[in-house]
Each structure stands twice: as C-alpha cells, then as structure tokens.
Chains A and B, each alone.
Chain A
Amino acid sequence: DQQVKQNSPSLSVQEGRISILNCDYTNSMFDYFLWYKKYPAEGPTFLISISSIKDKNEDGRFTVFLNKSAKHLSLHIVPSQPGDSAVYFCAASAGSGGSNYKLTFGKGTLLTVNP
C-alpha cells in the first residue's frame, strides 16, 4: 500500500544545476506534506513543508510545489551543491480534524550532486 510514491530511486545532477525530486500520493485526505533529507548514518532531518492550502513554499534554495489535482508534489533545489547529496524522503500527513496524525513516507530518492 504505497500511498506516497517516489518513483525515482536515484537522481544525478551537476553542481549549480537544478535538482527536481518528485513525489506522488494517492490519499486525498493528506493535507500536509514534508520533505526530509537523510545523510548516511544519520536520521532524517526536516527540510521543507507545504500545507494543502498552498501550492508553493520557498526556503532559500529549496522550493516545494504542490499540485493537488494531480496529487503531485516536487522539490526543487537551485542551485544544487555537492553537500545536497543525500536521500530525500517525501512524507504526508492527514492530521486536520482527524486522528490519523501519523506520517506516511515514500521510499526516498538518492540525489547525487556532482562537482
């Protein structure tokens, strides 16, 4: 039951270029979406989030876009840096007004930024 799907297991980009990581979801009850970054031997760390009432949220080099009709979100990193090389997880929550506050994660996408 993959309610959150990251169909690209890996992505490789050149330093300075844009990285675009994609995520699709199936549960229409999801109303809050997050991206996490994970380095080897570390736990996931929160990167950026977006509520379903918005379609874009920007934080420095990171922008998340949400297309509710397509049930799709994407993370843009511009410009990409070698230190961005990590696994990126998309996650979703259906917390508003309900008891299902747990996070549902995708499988992750390994981003490699080449110098």
Chain B
Amino acid sequence: EPEVTQTPSHQVTQMGQEVILRCVPISNHLYFYWYRQILGQKVEFLVSFYNNEISEKSEIFDDQFSVERPDGSNFTLKIRSTKLEDSAMYFCASSFSPFDWETQYFGPGTRLTVL
C-alpha cells in the first residue's frame, strides 16, 4: 500500500519563526497538495502544485506561505513568520491525475503548534 509520509509529526515553534513542513508524496504521483485543519474546524485546502508551479491556491495561502519541490521526492510547505492562528494540523496529499480525489492519498499530518 503506497503512502504519503510527513515530517515532523509535531512541530512546536515560537511566533514569528519560520517553519518548514516536509512531505514525501507517493513516488509516481505528479500533483501535490497541502491542507490544514485547525482544531475543531474543517479541513481547508491551501494549495495545489504541479510541474513545479502552483496550480491553485486558496485565500488562506498568502505571502507568508510558500511551497517547493526541492528535489525529486520532497514537497515542502514553508511558513515564513508564524502566527498563533497558524496552529493547526497540516496534511500533505498527492495524486497521479489532477484533482483525482478518489486516488488522492493523504499523509498522517504534521501538528504545528505556535506559541
């Protein structure tokens, strides 16, 4: 069973610090996504990424956020200057086809706590 992995599982940071959340998508997948879930709230789409470009992003994904595929395997989400309200579970996902929801696999998530 293929799986998406994410590191770290839990990240604690101080407000104003930069964080990088890492994901290893499934190896033959071409489309990559980040979602977040604030505690008690809905899962929210942040961004989709294909061919080294952002293909779609939500209004949440402002200039404080960036994504990168620095090599052939990792997909990262960077938050430049974290705020308290960035505390959430961040899920990475990948799919072979664009927005192929049924075969979109999610990682287990990184819990980000901003103090």
Contact = CB atoms under 8 A, between A and B. Distances in A.
Given A32-B101, A43-B106, A45-B106, A106 B42 contact: yes
A2 B41 CA distance: 10
A44 B91 contact: yes
A105 B38 CA distance: 13
Interface in A85-111: 89, 91, 93, 95, 99-108
Contact of A93 (B40, B44, B99, B106): B99
Contacts, number: 59
Contacts of A101: 48, 56, 98-99
A103 B44 CA distance: 8
Contacts of A32: 101
A43 B107 contact: yes
A95 to B, nearest CB: 6
Contact of A107 (B41, B93, B102, B108): B41
Given A41-B108, A43-B106, A105 B42 contact: yes
Contacts of A4: 42
Contacts of B87: none
Interface string B67-109: 0000000000000000000000001010000110111111111
Interface string A37-53: 00001111110010000
Give chain B's interface residue range (CB within 8 Å of chain A): 20 to 34
B102 A34 contact: yes
A95 B99 contact: yes
Interface of B: 4, 40-45, 48, 56, 58, 91, 93, 98-99, 101-109
Interface of A: 2, 4, 32, 34, 41-46, 49, 89, 91, 93, 95, 99-108
15 contacts: A43-B93, A43-B109, A44-B106, A45-B106, A46-B101, A46-B104, A91-B43, A93-B99, A95-B99, A101-B56, A102-B45, A102-B56, A103-B99, A105-B44, A106-B42
